Amino acid sequence: MAGRTITFTRNVFLPLTTVCRNRCGYCGFRTPVQDGCLMMPDAVERLLVRGAALGCTEALFTFGERPDLEPGFAAYLENTGWTNFLTYVVAMCRKGIAAGLLPHTNAGVLTYGEMEVLREVNASMGIMLETTAEVPAHRSSPGKKPEVRLAMMEDAGKLKIPFTTGLLLGIGETPADREDSLNAIRDIHRRYGHIQEIIIQNFCPKAGTGMSGYPVPSPQEICATIRLAREILPQEIAIQIPPNLADARALIPCGVDDLGGISPVTVDYINPEHPWPAIDSLKSIAGNAELVERLCIYPRFIEKGWFHPSMKPLITRLAHSTAQEKERCA
């Protein structure tokens, strides 16, 4: 493993709402409107400021897909003073930029026009493909149709948005489905060149969900999928695993390049029962590989200028400070 580099980003995880139109069989994140309406702007700002003070460079905005389609959400939003959810998200992204953090929005399915708007205030964006297979876990989730997610990934490529996607293992797909999913991601990247990383994420059962008793993928399955991804995908696409959900140190030799976003401020709101590893422990996880902190937009996309001009001052400043820190630690 000597000579290899393992990267990560330091982030603040901001779940703007847990309201979602999908009803995935494994999800413990979604709540009814009355229980998970909106993260108020002052709470967002407090977390951003705290994250910046602790050296975070990324504001990860995550929320349920199309919450405005859920009965009662639009009325609640209007009562809080926002005309629509996209306007609110843009405003929160601007707060992230003002605090010195680069926004990365993972919003579920968006239209071309919505991504075009969000591109102005995001350094990168993402959506998990999860699988190209039609699985029972997605039966009540219109936003999880593979063709819909692939179309959004295509649109992101047309807009030159540095993009993250990934597979969710253990939700009813087969090994052949995993291969098909990786091939689909590869083919889209060949056309647009915008995919910077792919997450290989294992399913984690949640109490109270329809899949609470389902088996979890074995380390051998995860490793085999990582190896398959490295074989299928271009070398420039980083392979990421979440180190709070799997034994990252054991899986790094399978072909892992990146440990994703680690927050010293917030929990993983999707998987709150799985705490992040401490930042100080990442060197141990990386083993003999060099551990390097990165931004949520990868260097090659910074060099290409694949970001809105208004983002340039912050991207340039953070890229410079990250490079200086790397030199200091060398």
> For residue range 228-276, what is the model confidence (pLDDT) as tens digits?
999 999 999 999 999 999 999 999 999 999 999 999 999 999 999 999 9
- Report the CATH number that the domain containing residue 295 is assigned in CATH: 3.20.20.70
Structural domain including 47 reads 5-329
Give residue 36's pLDDT: 66
Instruction: DSSP for 136-157, please give it.
Output: GGGTT-GGG-HHHHHHHHHHHH
Give residue 326's pLDDT: 60
The count of structural domains within the chain is 1
Give residue 328's pLDDT: 55
Instruction: Select from 7, 2, 27 the least CA-distant residue to 197.
Output: 7
Q: What is the pTM of this model?
A: 0.95
Other residues' Cβ atoms within 10 Å of the Cβ of residue 105: 30
Q: Coil, strand or helix: which one is 165?
A: strand
Q: Please, which residues have CB within 8 angstroms of residue 64's CB and are 6 or more apart in sequence?
A: 17, 18, 19, 20, 21, 22, 29, 30, 36, 108
Give residue 35's pLDDT: 73
Residue entry with tokens 């590869």? 186
DSSP 58: E
- Single-letter amino acid code for the residue at 44: V
Give residue 327's pLDDT: 54
- Single-letter amino acid code for the residue at 147: E
Is 188 within 8 Å of 154 (Cβ atoms)?
A: yes
Judged by phi (left if over 0) then psi (alpha if -120 to 50, else beta), residue 175 lies in: alpha
Low-confidence ranges of the chain (pLDDT < 50): 1
DSSP 253: G
Is 19 within 8 Å of 29 (Cβ atoms)?
A: no
Is 97 within 8 Å of 121 (Cβ atoms)?
A: yes
